[in-house]
């Protein structure tokens, strides 16, 4: 029975690790943040049926001059050229587009904030057939799928992934207590304490800083206080779990692994979602 439990639990853990890793890879690989080499988040092709096919910015090669930035990508064997010239409005650009030498309508899209301020553009008027557009959508399915899911769905998926990882971490700590489980409990407790204390201190407005503390002194408290609190909790948890296998220690280890696993996974996913440009 125990061998069956171990086999099933390891199988489930391996499956969730694979799914979690696939999601992380997809968010990193399909990241839409504009940068120096590609100064926009992405290009969208609007079809006659009002559907949209998204192109990732990684397929474009750009050259930059003092007058404009020109980016080109091969789309169905023909060049798509996007020329961006500085606009009078801050942080926006004038867009001109050509596909195989024919001019297209190019409009600015929504602003993305990851990893830096950048803009996506929508082009219309291409002579691509429905079959070609469908082929493009399948070729760049990652970007199209993530954008189709939207902010709320991606956040919900991240939440369920985090909860699942927390539950599995708690189950393994309870069923198979080990030094690894104890070590993770110590690290998770310290990490959560650091974040909670930092959030509490950083939310204090300068106008209500405790009496006789200067702004510089308070900034040092905000920087060093969470670290000290996190280290203190790590030491306390380590001492409580050291050489102990009673129910209290086992329960503490299980809770720390479960909540800590969900907390850490959630933080990783939130950071990646924000930096990838798929969530504002």
Q: What is the extent of the structural domain holding 72?
A: 42-139
DSSP state of 31: -
Last-in-domain residue among 88, 104, 139: 139
Last-in-domain residue among 84, 117, 139: 139
pLDDT at residue number 86: 64
The reply to whether 33 falls in a domain is no
pLDDT at residue number 107: 83
pLDDT at residue number 63: 85
Q: Is the peptide bond before 115 cis (omega within 30 degrees of 0)?
A: yes
The reply to whether 184 falls in a domain is yes
pLDDT at residue number 111: 41
DSSP percent split of the chain into helix, strand, coil, nearest 5: 55, 20, 20
pLDDT at residue number 15: 78
pLDDT at residue number 80: 92
pLDDT at residue number 280: 67
Do 272 and 161 form a contact (C-beta atoms < 8 A)? no
Q: Which residues of the chain have pLDDT under 70?
A: 1-3, 5-6, 8-9, 33-36, 86-93, 109-118, 205-213, 243-245, 280
Domain count, the chain: 2
Burial 179-201 (b: 16+ CB within 10 A, else e): eebbebbbbbbbbbbbeebbeeb
Residues 261 and 164 in one domain: yes
Residues 197 and 268 in one domain: yes
Last-in-domain residue among 82, 111, 139: 139
Residue 257: closest CA among 164, 206, 186: 186
User: Using CA atoms, how far apart are residues 53 and 93, in angstroms rounded to an integer?
Assistant: 22
The reply to whether 251 falls in a domain is yes
The reply to whether 67 falls in a domain is yes
Do 163 and 262 form a contact (C-beta atoms < 8 A)? yes
Residues 125 and 70 in one domain: yes
Residues 154 and 246 in one domain: yes
pLDDT at residue number 9: 67
pLDDT at residue number 41: 82
Q: What is the pLDDT of residues 68-86, one digit of tens each?
A: 788 899 998 899 998 887 6
């Amino acid at each position: 029975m125990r061998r069956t439990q171990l086999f099933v639990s390891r199988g489930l853990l391996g499956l969730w690790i694979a799914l979690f890793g696939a999601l992380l890879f997809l968010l990193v690989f399909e990241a839409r943040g504009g940068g120096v080499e590609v100064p926009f988040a992405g290009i969208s092709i609007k079809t006659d049926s009002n559907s949209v096919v998204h192109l990732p910015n990684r397929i474009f090669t750009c050259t930059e001059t003092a007058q404009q930035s020109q980016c080109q990508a091969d789309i169905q064997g023909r060049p798509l050229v996007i020329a961006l010239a500085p606009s009078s409005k801050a942080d926006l650009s004038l867009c001109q587009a050509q596909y195989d030498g024919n001019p297209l309508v190019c409009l600015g899209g929504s602003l993305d904030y990851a990893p830096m301020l950048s803009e996506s553009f929508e082009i219309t008027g291409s002579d691509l057939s429905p079959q070609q557009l469908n082929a493009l959508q399948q070729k760049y399915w990652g970007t199209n799928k993530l954008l189709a899911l939207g902010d709320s769905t991606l956040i919900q998926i991240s939440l369920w992934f985090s909860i699942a990882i927390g539950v599995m971490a708690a189950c393994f700590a309870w069923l198979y207590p080990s030094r690894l489980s104890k070590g993770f409990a110590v690290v998770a407790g310290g990490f959560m304490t650091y974040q909670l204390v930092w959030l509490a201190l950083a939310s204090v407005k300068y106008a209500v800083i405790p009496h006789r503390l200067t702004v510089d002194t308070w900034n040092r408290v905000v920087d060093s206080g969470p670290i000290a609190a996190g280290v203190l909790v790590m030491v306390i948890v380590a001492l409580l779990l050291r050489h102990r296998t009673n129910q209290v220690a086992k329960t503490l280890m299980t809770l720390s692994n479960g909540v800590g696993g969900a907390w850490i996974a959630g933080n990783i996913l939130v950071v990646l979602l924000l930096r990838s440009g798929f969530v504002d």
